[in-house]
Structure 1
Amino acid sequence: MLLDTNRRSCSPGWSYCWKLLLVTSLFIQGTTPSAARYTDSNYLEEDKYSPGFLTLGQKYSIAIGSRVVLPCKINETENSSHYVLAWKRDIAVLTAGGVKVTVNPRIRLMPIQGTTDQHGALSTGYNLEISDVRVTDAGDYICQIGSMEPKEIVHTLEVLVPPKIDFVSPQNKLDVHKGAPIRLECQGSGNPPPKIIWSRRNNVLPNGEANKTGPVYDLLHATRHASGHYKCTADNRVGQPDSRDILVNVLYPPEIEVEQQIVHSGVGHEAQLVCIVHAEPAPNVIWYKETTQLGTTEQHSQQVRGNKHSLIIRNVTYLDLGNYTCQASNSLGKDRGSLSLSGLPTICYFDSPTLSSYRDQYNISWTVQSYSPI
């Protein structure tokens, strides 16, 4: 059995206390340069008077807040009572024999009850338990057999920390003029260091890619298509990813797309003229018939749905036929779109087959839309 430092008595005689003081002084001195570190799990010490390690030193990667048990198992010999098994972290003694030296309440010593292997050899030792693991717990933990030439194994504890975004630039929102460069920055921490991934909510990135990896996202020339919510995500596969959103708002003068340049209708029918207006800040849209500005009347009404601006004409008359203009303006500029309301039939489309079914005749058919008799 290993030396039990829980004993408080030095009887019979003082030799027990003398041995304990001698071994303790060796621990306080730290690991000697000649200390042997074992990496083989076989019986490393054939001498029946000197115990050897049955545990390999290894690396443990543990998530923060978890529990870890560091093993230290040795073979018991006839002379084991002359040795003390101790746990150290660097040069700090954590335990000596069955005595806990550290005041850290999260560290606990776990005795290994003597067991016999298939060869009949008896083993014993002490495991070291660390609960609620913290970042500061990372490092090397040494299990040492105290003697004039100490033997030891080393366990390395790596503490895994979930990702956290520490810095985002700009904060929350970026207003940028069309044509100007865009730079978004995102930095995160964790162990292992997290990967930073950029994406855009409900859309691909302006270059057509779904995402981009790296702490910085650059766009040389902003277009209106670059507007949107950009997401920076930090992920290191420990716990849940962390993310932040940046709203990019590209400012630009109005740009108008005419949905249908020539709108066909007829007297007594309804007509709808549509302009698609893109602008930031939001534009003011005015409709004109020739040079006359149109307001809202029983016959004329204006409708806005998103960026779709419509002029609705009910019960069209001959006076309503002609040229119309939609004009959009904001603080950065203005744009115009031209449309025509026509009472003429649409262009006819020939839908007869290319080859005739007859040798001496050919049937021609076409389709045309008209609100008036043809």
Structure 2
Amino acid sequence: MHELVVVFVAIFHVALGELKPKFNQTPEHVTVIAGNKAILPCTVEFRGEHTVIWSSPRKTLISHADRRMIDDHRISVERPYIKEWNLHIRDVRHNDSGTYKCEINTVPIQAKLVTLSVFVPPMIISKYSSDLVVKQETETAELICNVTGIPAPNVTWYKRNFRKGNGYKEKIGLEGGALLIHNVSRYCDDIYECVVDNGVPPPRSKAIRVEVQFAPEVVLTNKRIGQRRGKETILECIIYAHPHSITVWKRNGQKIQQKSDKYSIEVFPDEENRMVTLSLRIMDLESSDYGSYTCEGSNPLGKDAEDMILYVIEPDPVVTHTTTTTTTTYGLQYEIDVNGGVGSWANNGGGISRNGDGGGDSNRGWVEEGGWEKDRLNPTSKPHKNPTNERGRPVTNQIYPGPRTNPISACRRFETSVVLLSSLLSLTLYCIKYVLT
């Protein structure tokens, strides 16, 4: 029985020895991201006494059986199962890419091809990319974003519009490593961003600052401003410029000093928006202070100026009504008919109706004996200085309309007061007449 078993085992080994080694020779493709570990599979069945070797894309012998034949500690042959001869490459690099060959030294030689593709995440080469681009208006700005990666990455451009805030950015131009901005203006002054992506995470981005230099532009918040005498006022102008401009206020062509008893100048720069607000405070206004003031800005690219007019505002007219001087001021008399007739108003002997439709010129205002000149109601005419009546006494209740006064409205208010006063006097005299009778 023992001899039978030995014969059976011998026959079995002979049968195995006659089986030829084989493996799946179908080419395989392995893809891995740089920095990770690549596993190149190779499975051999019925190897027998034959040897498995690995060779590199450059025809270099990598391993013989399970021994490494090159001085690269990243590479090894791993055999999790007896029929597997897998090639492991740790911390894989782009130059590891290529077609590897797993071979068995049979006659003829059998081989299995495994192609390794190493993908490289996108990377921006800052040394050869733009950081700051400075141009003058009407020039062409060129922004460079030099990138690398496998597969070849796409470059997309954005304008951040950082002055708008809220992380808003706008896609501009076409895809490519260079962005040209033709005929730049001050509105192109912004932060631009190139975003690089090739499907291998993570994507990369780079910010490029574009500065546009331009000559000053002066903008006035108001072309004209008014104020009363004795008060103070502030004139303001905004100057847009880059680089920063020299900003001054001028009066009659002469630069106004920064600090004095009459003037005070303050500067409020806003570097982000390329602007400067220049304010001029004028104290204790006098007649000589009114007129034209010039705001001027200049830089190496040019200069600009705008004029602002400061005009005088006359005080609002004050209308006074005094009941105790009615008959004296307006020369009105009330005559009573003792025979029972109805009394009447008279103006120096002339009759006048209670509703004001008779006696006198309707185009003239009511005034002391000297009268009120008709042309003084013209809004464009200037007030008369120190008006007096025929007796040389100053007229204290005269009305002189200023720029903010409607003379017609003032006249109507005055007439309304007279009508109310006439009604009050008529009622009083009627009561006196009733008592006498």
TM-score category of the 2 structures, normalised to the smaller one: 0.5 to 0.7
Map of 1:66 onto structure 2: 36
Map of 2:250 onto structure 1: 288
CA displacement, residues 159-178 of structure 1 (integer Å, 9 cap, x when unaligned): 22233333666754333222
The whole-number CA distance in structure 2 between the counterparts of 1:244 and 1:327 is 39
Q: Any residues of structure 2 matched to 1:1-374 within 5 Å, and which? A: 49-53=19-23, 57-74=27-44, 76-77=45-46, 80-90=47-57, 91-114=59-82, 124-166=83-125, 172-203=131-162, 209-212=170-173, 213-267=175-229, 269-295=231-257, 296-305=259-268, 306=270, 307-313=275-281, 315=283, 317-319=285-287, 320-344=289-313
Change in 2 beyond 3 A, CA 1:210/1:264: farther
The whole-number CA distance in structure 2 between the counterparts of 1:280 and 1:139 is 55
The question of whether the paired residues in 2 share the 8 Å contact of 1:181 and 1:220 is answered with yes
The whole-number CA distance in structure 1 between the counterparts of 2:240 and 2:129 is 25
Map of 2:428 onto structure 1: none
Amino acid at match of 1:156: T
The whole-number CA distance in structure 1 between the counterparts of 2:229 and 2:280 is 14
The whole-number CA distance in structure 1 between the counterparts of 2:88 and 2:199 is 25
Map of 2:11 onto structure 1: none
| 1:286, distance to aligned residue in structure 2 (A) | 1.3
Map of 2:15 onto structure 1: none
The question of whether the paired residues in 1 share the 8 Å contact of 2:235 and 2:280 is answered with yes
| 1:315, distance to aligned residue in structure 2 (A) | 4.4
The whole-number CA distance in structure 2 between the counterparts of 1:373 and 1:179 is 51
CA displacement, residues 248-280 of structure 1 (integer Å, 9 cap, x when unaligned): 332322112222223344445553322221222
Amino acid at match of 1:210: K
The question of whether the paired residues in 2 share the 8 Å contact of 1:86 and 1:143 is answered with yes
| 1:200, distance to aligned residue in structure 2 (A) | 3.9
Change in 2 beyond 3 A, CA 1:200/1:269: farther
Amino acid at match of 2:137: K
Amino acid at match of 1:279: A
Map of 1:358 onto structure 2: none
The whole-number CA distance in structure 2 between the counterparts of 1:270 and 1:58 is 88
CA displacement, residues 122-146 of structure 1 (integer Å, 9 cap, x when unaligned): xx22111111212221111222333
Indicate the structure whose relative CO is greater, using CA pairs within 8 Å and at least 6 residues apart.
1
The question of whether the paired residues in 2 share the 8 Å contact of 1:267 and 1:315 is answered with no
TM-score (norm 1): 0.66
The whole-number CA distance in structure 2 between the counterparts of 1:72 and 1:221 is 61
The question of whether the paired residues in 1 share the 8 Å contact of 2:230 and 2:286 is answered with no
Map of 1:5 onto structure 2: none
The question of whether the paired residues in 2 share the 8 Å contact of 1:86 and 1:97 is answered with yes
| 1:185, distance to aligned residue in structure 2 (A) | 2.3
| 1:58, distance to aligned residue in structure 2 (A) | 2.9
Unaligned 5+ segments in structure 2 are 1-17, 164-168, 315-401, 407-437
| 1:334, distance to aligned residue in structure 2 (A) | 1.0
SS in 1 for 2:95: helix
Change in 2 beyond 3 A, CA 1:244/1:93: same
| 1:281, distance to aligned residue in structure 2 (A) | 2.4
**Identity in percent:** 25
The whole-number CA distance in structure 1 between the counterparts of 2:42 and 2:220 is 79
TM-score (norm 2): 0.58
The question of whether the paired residues in 1 share the 8 Å contact of 2:130 and 2:208 is answered with yes
The question of whether the paired residues in 2 share the 8 Å contact of 1:178 and 1:221 is answered with yes
The whole-number CA distance in structure 1 between the counterparts of 2:229 and 2:114 is 91
Change in 2 beyond 3 A, CA 1:168/1:230: farther
Change in 2 beyond 3 A, CA 1:371/1:126: farther
Q: CA RMSD in A?
A: 3.3
Change in 2 beyond 3 A, CA 1:97/1:263: same
CA displacement, residues 1-44 of structure 1 (integer Å, 9 cap, x when unaligned): xxxxxxxxxxxxxxxxxxxxxxxxxxxxxxxxxxxxxxxxxxxx
Map of 1:119 onto structure 2: none
The question of whether the paired residues in 1 share the 8 Å contact of 2:292 and 2:308 is answered with yes
Amino acid at match of 1:104: D
